[in-house]
Amino acid sequence: MTAASMGCGRDHERFTMPWGPLPEINPSDMFKMPYPNFRRMDKYSRLGLTAIGLALIDAGLSEWTRERKIGIVASTVYGCLETDVDYYKTVIPDRGANASPALFSYTLANSYLGEAAIRFGLTGTNYVLTEQHPTGLAGLQTALDHIIRGDVEQILGGVCDVGCPQIFGKPGIVPPGAVFFMIEKSFARKISSYGELSMDEKGGIIYNGSEIKDIAILVQKCLDGFHHA
Amino acid sequence: MSVDNLKNKDSNRVVVTDAAVITGLGNNLESLWQGLMANETAIRPITRFPVDQDFYKAKIAAHIDDLEAANNRSMLEHLLDRLVLELGSVPSDSALITATIKAGADNLESFCRGGQANFQDVLLSSIANIVGPKLGLICNGICISASCASSTIAVAHGAALIESGRAEVVLVCCADLITEYHFSGFSALKALSPFPCRPFDRDRKGLSLGEGAAALLLMNADRARRENRNRLGSLLGWGISNDATHITAPAKSGRGLVQAVDQALKTAKRKPEHITAINAHGTGTVYNDLMELNAFRQVFGERKVPMYSIKGAIGHTLGAAGAIEVALGLKALSSRVIPLTVGFANPEKGAEGQVSSESQPVSGDYLLTTNSGFGGVNAALVLGR
């Protein structure tokens, strides 16, 4: 989910993560079953949940009957800051009398991971992290670490940001968008893989033998390998 | 790096060499411990923001009275200043893992009211931005945000870094404040108790908010030995799960917590019978406490493992709760006694003979500590004496 496009890797040959408004999300395009809660969610949760859903579709794992011990680790810079502001604006006018419990439920950076866990039956490790100096790769690195350690067999790792709310008068330092990768310990399914991830001694990500420093570059390398193989 | 290379090299065993804690019961771990053992509570009337409105059924919280905000900075900075003072020497090569759910929420309130405030304090990265330079740390810090299990997961993440050999020393640092922001939200969710919370009591009515901060210095055993560091205890196992059931309510079956505890025991290479005591999340909400009793019954069977909650004394310190409870759990193991549960009088069904209004002597070497939170997250740690 980026300002340039939304979709699955298998449907795209090019990937960029530019600055700009994100595409509108229509839940009926994404979810086979009705999903009334989707419209009640904040923008950050809708973005993250959609990207996770697309990654699961791409990996052939969106349909399920029994819960799976699949984890999710996502990085963010601003998290749900926009929702925080929206919520507190319901508190100010009447000194808390009209504080919105519905908005408050989404004032945690990890709320959307809980929504994804419910929607897709994912019971594994599940949290959000923020880097002091963002690289965009921390979620994927940490997800990979959980695989290497054997905590889970399958995990989603990625990044999700909607930008810095205008009220703070600061330009955002990362473009809005969300990207998730589905990574698995041992790949033995009918669907083809994009390649192999490993980790160097310092925790850096290695994709098919090459060091990766940027999440957008990793996506493009995956697409190049898949579509031109 | 193969999985085999990561498994339990003794040199990479994770020990805790220093702990600093600031809560409503004082500016260090000892004052918290003494307060708990004396059945004290820091939960008292709120004076920080107005709560006289009728729709606030609760008007209490466990706050730190003399926290100040100066020069547009959040009270978070003052809290972390105090925390750092309580720490001994921290090696500059320490990895920094922080945890919070809302960092400087007081500054967020100022912005929303049109006031001046430091923007950096609003970000989840703010604790790393404040603590890293204060201590001269050279690495890029991270912040874990996973609702009320944030610092529990931060401790787990730090222990995993050391066990895998990618770090020798990790500083875990966490904090959360009481603000009108949090108070109004929990009140709107009808989660607050009108009286100081009473974990595992059949007459409990909800949680009481608290604020606090904790710092734990984790080190591999070799380095701790080389540097002749004090050893408060060890971190042996950890597990994280999601209920996949509800955003704000726990799974009644306790299945997510059971999964996290099973994983923690497996990582620690210990069995349920090795656990001598449990530090429960014990928020005092009807559903959380029932869920925990249910989960622990599934893990431990009919064995009544001595259990306590500290939230009747210092309130629910949100993202800081897990690390505060690790510091206290290690103190309990080394003292061979677990604290009483402040506010507990009439046991909830299933808590009889397990939770107590008096401190309980314990003789074993392993303590289980767990936290659960919004978004369905659960985290469990196995601590060693």
| pLDDT cut 90: percent of chain B above it | 95
B262 and B162 both lie in a single domain? no
Candidate from A185-189, B66-70, B180-184 with smallest mean pLDDT: A185-189
- What pLDDT score was predicted for residue B272? 98
Res. B6: pLDDT tops 80: no
Q: How confident is the model at residue B4 (pLDDT cuts 50, 70, 90)?
A: very low
Single residue among B191, B226, B261 that ends a domain in this structure: B226
Nearest to A127 among B109, B145, B166 (CB): B145
How far apart, in whole angstroms, are the C-alpha atoms of residue A129 and residue A160? Answer: 10
Tens-digit pLDDT profile for residues A200-223? 988 899 999 999 999 999 999 999
Res. A167: pLDDT tops 90: no
Q: Does the distance separating the beta carbons of A118 and B125 come in below 8 Å?
A: no
Q: How far is CA A216 from CA A59, A135, A143, in A?
A: 19, 11, 17
Q: How many CB atoms lie within 10 A of CB B300?
A: 18
Q: How confident is the model at residue B17 (pLDDT cuts 50, 70, 90)?
A: very high
How many domains does chain B contain in total? 2
Nearest to B187 among A79, A99, A203 (CB): A99
Res. B364: pLDDT tops 80: yes
A24 or B173: which carries more pLDDT confidence? B173
Task: Write out the E strands in chain B.
Answer: 14-22, 44-45, 60-61, 95-99, 142-145, 169-176, 212-220, 233-242, 275-279, 307-308, 337-338, 360-361, 366-373, 377-384
B28 and B50 both lie in a single domain? yes
Terminus-to-terminus CA distance in chain A, angstroms?
Answer: 24
B208: domain range?
Answer: 3-226
Within the 19-48 window of chain A, which residues sit less than 8 Å (CB to CB) from chain B?
none
A214 inside domain: yes
Chain A interface includes B243 (CB < 8 A): yes
Tens-digit pLDDT profile for residues A4-27? 999 999 999 999 999 999 998 888
A7 inside domain: no
Query: Which structure tokens are listed for A58?
Result: 């791409």
For residue B31, the distance in angstroms to the closest alpha carbon of chain A comes to 31
Q: How many CB atoms lie within 10 A of CB A200?
A: 11
How far apart, in whole angstroms, are the C-alpha atoms of residue A134 and residue B125? Answer: 10
B30 and B114 both lie in a single domain? yes
B273 and B364 both lie in a single domain? yes
Tens-digit pLDDT profile for residues B276-296? 999 999 999 999 999 999 999
A99 inside domain: yes
Chain B interface includes A125 (CB < 8 A): yes
Mean pLDDT of the residues in chain B: 95
Mean pLDDT of the residues in chain A: 93
B110 and B221 both lie in a single domain? yes
A3 inside domain: no
CATH code for the domain in which residue B345 is found: 3.40.47.10
B196 and B237 both lie in a single domain? no
Q: Give the sign of the dihedral formed by CA B294, CA B298, CA B303, CA B308.
A: negative
Nearest CA in chain A to B7: A149
- What pLDDT score was predicted for residue A192? 85
Tens-digit pLDDT profile for residues A101-158? 999 999 999 999 999 999 999 999 999 999 999 999 999 999 999 999 999 999 999 9
Contact (Cβ atoms closer than 8 angstroms) between residue B242 and residue A123: yes
B276 and B193 both lie in a single domain? no
CATH code for the domain in which residue A150 is found: 3.40.47.10
The mean pLDDT of B97-105, rounded to a whole number, is 97
A141: domain range?
Answer: 26-227
Count of A-B CB contacts under 8 Å: 186
A10 inside domain: no
B70 and B24 both lie in a single domain? yes
B92 and B137 both lie in a single domain? yes
Query: H-type helices in chain A, by residue range?
Result: 27-30, 37-40, 43-58, 81-91, 101-104, 111-120, 138-149, 215-227
Res. B68: pLDDT tops 90: yes
How many domains does chain A contain in total? 1
Q: How confident is the model at residue B10 (pLDDT cuts 50, 70, 90)?
A: low
Single residue among B198, B226, B254 that ends a domain in this structure: B226
Of B139, B109, B105, nearest to B124 by C-alpha is: B105
| pLDDT cut 90: percent of chain A above it | 79
Single residue among B201, B226, B251 that ends a domain in this structure: B226
- What pLDDT score was predicted for residue B9? 55
B86 and B201 both lie in a single domain? yes
A4 inside domain: no
B202 and B101 both lie in a single domain? yes
